[in-house]
Amino acid sequence: MPSTSSNDRRVPRVRQALLLSLPALLIAGGAFAQETVLALEFSFSNPGARSMGFGGAFVALADDATAAFANPAGLVQLARPEVSIEGRYWSYSTPYTEGGRLFGEPTGIGVDTTAGLRIEESSQDLTGLSFLSFVYPWKRFSFAAYRHQLANFEFFSETQGFIRGVPEGGPGAAERFPDQRSGVDFELVTHAASAAYRVTENFSLGIGISHIRSDLFSRSDKYRPPTTFGHNPYLEEDLDTVASLSIEGSDWTWSAGFLWSFAEQWRLGGFYRSGPDFQLAAWSISGPGHVWGPGVDLGSAESPISAPAVYGLGFAYRSTSGRLTLAFEWDRVEYATLVDSLDPAAFPAPPVLDDGNEYHVGGEYAFLGASPVVAIRLGAWLDPDHQLRAPAGSPPLIHALRPPGSDEMHYTGGIGLAFERFQIDFGIDISDLVDTASISAIYSF
């Protein structure tokens, strides 16, 4: 359930969360007039608790089974067949605009008490099997098969009174927009295979192919507001419109990477991952409170939608003793693809979205004399603002539902225990809006 509101606060950006509003899906025979909020979250960060402890700076290390995703070129570093498994816990605190004044002074009646917008949070706690892989090295080659959960996300919002003044109505006159209840259930899973080849002793290349499936369903129910400025009880007879949206289907994508030990203690790594294409479908029907009565088809629309491609570079340093490891990684995420791929006939006024740069840094200190070997990790990474923004000239309600975002810092930590053929790692990633915990295990044989 939403938490206590905070008045006059700017909405912060949700990590990898994309707030998509559908103000006017124009179609033949009808139009959507409902401002439907769709929140999405999917992660571009690397799998594995060890990588998490490094702040995600793993492309130039890529020295365990999670390299199959992070940088397939690193798979040649594994000397034995290896099985890896990871489970994750996500705690989301997704902010949304709950209501308040679009403009004008509040009347002080009912919910109309805020001289600005009110912010709430949708709090959801989820768990899942996030990564499972098998790696088999053979001569100068190495092969891997894996399953990776790129998204596991739920969201719920409930508005109570978007209100604006009406100058021609005289002092204190105001009108209230319909209220909404919105929910999202989203899962994105990939099944993939990767291969690597050691070109020279110090240089390797890797490739991968993935089959990614999206299962997303969103529903937003619009209710007629009370005649007063009181709390909306969301009665069935006041249900005006039901707007639904799905992003479903599957697609094949590819990835590639390289790993180069250019000096005795230094390595450089890089990767590229293409983005999948899916189909977005939206439709709307009337409810019991609609002027046309319940069950009337108000229209539908479809559009392709493409997830971003990601590429990056990283450096890693390992001390002569092997105890200290430091890593840095830069990733470029082509977020704008999400907007550019939309059909302009279905989205005549698409939101504004920019590409972003992620910066990851992390370090590890290993107590090599211990049995088992113990490794302590710390890291951080910058998640750039990539919230969809309302285009210039949008109505005030659209600006309220699509507020500007901001950059977000993540702080990470972890610990690992390495036995002769078994390793277990724990990792945490803490930020203002989403906390993640990971436990992973690797067994080589």
pLDDT in tens, 337-356: 988 898 888 777 777 788 88
Confidence of residue 42 (pLDDT cuts 50, 70, 90): low
Please state the CATH superfamily assignment of the domain spanning residues 6-444 in this structure: Outer membrane protein transport protein (OMPP1/FadL/TodX) (2.40.160.60)
- Does the pLDDT at position 17 exceed 50? no
User: Mean of the pLDDT values across residues 129-148?
Assistant: 96
Confidence of residue 94 (pLDDT cuts 50, 70, 90): confident
User: Mean of the pLDDT values across residues 127-137?
Assistant: 95
Q: What is the model's pLDDT at position 121?
A: 87
Which stretch of 41-55, 198-212, 277-291 has the lowest confidence by average pLDDT? 41-55
Q: What is the distance between the alpha carbons of residues 100 and 350, in angstroms, rounded to a whole number? A: 25
Q: What is the distance between the alpha carbons of residues 282 and 45, in angstroms, rounded to a whole number? A: 29
Q: What is the model's pLDDT at position 11?
A: 32
- Does the pLDDT at position 226 exceed 50? yes
Q: What is the model's pLDDT at position 66?
A: 93
Predicted TM-score (pTM) of this structure: 0.84
Provide the mean pLDDT of the chain.
Answer: 85
User: Mean of the pLDDT values across residues 59-74?
Assistant: 95
- Does the pLDDT at position 168 exceed 70? no
Q: What is the distance between the alpha carbons of residues 13 and 431, in angstroms, rounded to a whole number? A: 11
Work out whether the CA dihedral 364, 255, 85, 88 comes out positive or negative.
positive
More confident residue, 101 or 310: 310
Burial tier of 295 (Cβ tally within 10 Å: 0-12, 13-18, 19+): exposed
Confidence of residue 26 (pLDDT cuts 50, 70, 90): very low
Q: Cβ neighbours of residue 208 under 8 Å, at least 6 residues apart?
A: 68, 69, 72, 192, 193, 194, 195, 254, 255, 256
Q: Tell me the two tokens of residue 408.
A: 């977000």
Q: What is the model's pLDDT at position 404?
A: 67
- Does the pLDDT at position 34 exceed 90? no
Kind plus residue range of the DSSP H or E element containing 337: helix 337-340
Work out whether the CA dihedral 305, 186, 361, 320 comes out positive or negative.
negative
Nearest partner of 163 among 220, 99, 223, 109, judged by Cα: 99
- Does the pLDDT at position 407 exceed 90? no
User: Mean of the pLDDT values across residues 374-385?
Assistant: 94
Q: Residue 53: count other Cβ atoms within 10 Å of its Cβ.
A: 29
DSSP per residue over 269-333, as a string? EEEEEPPPEEEEEEEEEE-TTSTT-TT-EEEEEEEEEEPPPEEEEEEEEE-TTS-EEEEEEEEEE
Q: What is the model's pLDDT at position 257?
A: 97
Three state DSSP letters for 157-223: EECCCEEEECHHHCCCCEEECCEEEEEEEEEEEEEEEEEEEEEECCEEEEEEEEEEEEEEEEEEEEE
DSSP per residue over 406-434, as a string? --EEEEEEEEEEE-SSEEEEEEEEE-SSE
User: Mean of the pLDDT values across residues 319-336?
Assistant: 95
User: Mean of the pLDDT values across residues 151-157?
Assistant: 89
- Does the pLDDT at position 313 exceed 60? yes
Asked if residue 361 lies in contact with residue 380, where contact means CB atoms within 8 angstroms, the answer is yes
- Which of 105-114, 257-266, 381-390 has the highest average model confidence (pLDDT)? 257-266
Q: What is the model's pLDDT at position 166?
A: 57
